């Protein structure tokens, strides 16, 4: 490392421990409990499989914040991370049910099978190295999630928005500046009235004063939902009739939330790149004109727009985590679809072919979802937008602009000699 000991421009080159040692650091342990049952009915045509599971991860390896009086010091200013020791202090419990149903039927030339599986999940944080862990960063928004004991991992944490300020809100001139007074406030020691959002103008977001103290700060942030689905499901169907065969597979999730991080740069954040279609309906206080060199005069390019719930183009509306970015991530997707036909063996044997099958199909045929992003599955794995001040890998359910799934159409031949 390169460091100046006397705060001058002269630096000294040397080495120093990058992290406090913990000789007592050990392995993480896992405790598993499973109770299941398998049943069949109707001469094995109907099958039922049910299981309850409980998994507890104990002694998880986490960073432990320690005070400077212990002799530790932060190296983050030198891009070397930090000196917090790793300790075995953290516990997470996952529990839920898994249910699988299957049914097979044969009637004459018709053969059919149906399979349904549903899994539930309850995640609970039992212990942490600190009272809470904040994580997540998308562009200028951080933190996005918070993990606390008793809750689930990486729940979204931010402000609730109660609406938008409009030109109908009463305005009073205070110290020579117009202030919208229809908002929370508190009385300062000198008797003056201080408003929660003194800078707001018509078109700005109205953040909810949850604590009721007349301020808008971290005390007003609430949990906005979990990136973990309440349950996931899948359904498969297979049909055969004479030489024809048909198969389809559907899957999806229910109850999970997604932080749509693409909204910040599609609604705000830049002027020259692409924007969301809804951006055209944003709040615009006054008509916007630009000079047209061909016409030699100012022309109207953006008309005023007050009849909208899309905030005006201002960083205060888009630079903090709020429920504006939180969307329902539930979805149902037709994943695979195949239709085939196999020529009768009486024909194929004449040309010394054991089996000849033609088929057409498609993948990712359609998706039913309320999510406005490109793909509700894009945010299920940990995002790359990791908070540099936190090594804990907790950034789940954050969509930073992944590519949509490709819809594929298939035409093929299966040939066996």
Residue-by-residue pLDDT tens, the chain, 417 positions:
555 666 677 766 766 566 777 787 888 899 999 999 999 999 999 999 999 999 998 887 777 777 666 655 555 444 445 677 777 778 999 999 999 999 999 999 999 999 999 999 999 999 887 888 888 888 889 999 999 999 999 999 999 999 999 999 999 988 888 999 999 999 999 888 999 999 999 999 999 999 999 999 999 999 999 999 999 999 999 999 999 999 999 999 999 999 999 898 888 756 567 888 888 899 999 998 999 898 899 999 889 999 999 999 898 999 999 999 999 999 999 999 999 999 998 887 778 788 899 999 999 999 999 999 889 987 654 444 444 444 446 788 999 887 788 999 999 999 888
Predicted pLDDT of residue 360: 97
φ, ψ (nearest 5 deg) of residue 259: -90, 105
- pTM of the predicted structure, to 2 decimals: 0.85
Closest CA to 280 of 252, 296, 303: 303
Closest CA to 398 of 264, 287, 211, 257: 257
Q: What are 410's two structure tokens?
A: 């298939």
Predicted pLDDT of residue 270: 60
Give Rg (Cα) of the chain: 30
């Amino acid at each position: 490392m390169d460091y100046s000991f006397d705060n001058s421009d002269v630096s000294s080159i040397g080495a120093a421990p990058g992290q406090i040692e913990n000789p007592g650091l050990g392995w993480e342990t896992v405790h598993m409990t499973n109770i299941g049952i398998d049943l069949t009915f109707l001469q094995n045509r109907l099958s039922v499989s049910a299981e309850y599971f409980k998994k507890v991860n104990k002694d998880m390896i986490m960073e432990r914040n320690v005070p400077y009086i212990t002799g530790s010091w932060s190296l983050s200013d030198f891009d070397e991370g930090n000196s917090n020791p790793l300790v075995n202090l953290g516990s997470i419990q996952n529990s839920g049910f898994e249910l699988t149903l299957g049914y097979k039927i044969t009637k004459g030339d018709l053969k059919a099978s149906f399979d349904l599986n549903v899994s539930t999940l309850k995640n609970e944080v039992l212990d942490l190295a600190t009272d809470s862990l904040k994580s997540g960063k998308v562009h200028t928004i951080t933190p996005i999630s918070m993990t606390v004991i008793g809750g689930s991992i990486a729940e979204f944490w931010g402000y609730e928005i109660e609406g938008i300020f409009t030109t109908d809100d009463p305005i009073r001139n205070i110290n020579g500046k117009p202030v919208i007074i229809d908002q929370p406030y508190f009385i300062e020691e000198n008797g003056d009235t201080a408003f929660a959002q003194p800078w707001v103008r018509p078109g700005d977001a109205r953040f909810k004063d949850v604590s009721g103290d007349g301020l808008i700060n971290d005390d007003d942030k609430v949990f906005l939902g979990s990136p973990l689905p309440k349950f996931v499901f899948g359904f498969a169907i297979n049909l055969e009739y004479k030489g024809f065969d048909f198969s389809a597979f559907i899957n999806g999730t229910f109850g999970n939330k997604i932080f749509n991080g693409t909204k910040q740069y599609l609604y705000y954040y830049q002027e020259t790149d692409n924007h969301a279609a809804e951006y055209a309906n944003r709040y615009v206080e006054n008509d916007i004109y630009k000079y047209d060199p061909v016409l030699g005069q100012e022309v109207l390019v953006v008309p005023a727009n007050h009849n909208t719930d899309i905030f005006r183009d201002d960083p205060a509306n888009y630079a903090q985590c709020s429920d504006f970015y939180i969307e329902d991530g539930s979805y149902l997707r037709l994943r695979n679809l195949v239709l085939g036909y196999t020529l009768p063996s009486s024909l194929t044997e004449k040309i010394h072919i054991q089996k000849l099958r033609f088929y057409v199909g498609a993948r990712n045929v359609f998706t039913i979802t309320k999510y406005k992003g490109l793909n509700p599955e894009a945010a299920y794995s940990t995002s790359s937008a990791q908070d540099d001040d936190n090594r804990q890998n907790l950034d789940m359910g954050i969509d930073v602009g992944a590519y949509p799934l490709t819809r594929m159409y298939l035409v093929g031949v299966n040939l066996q000699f």
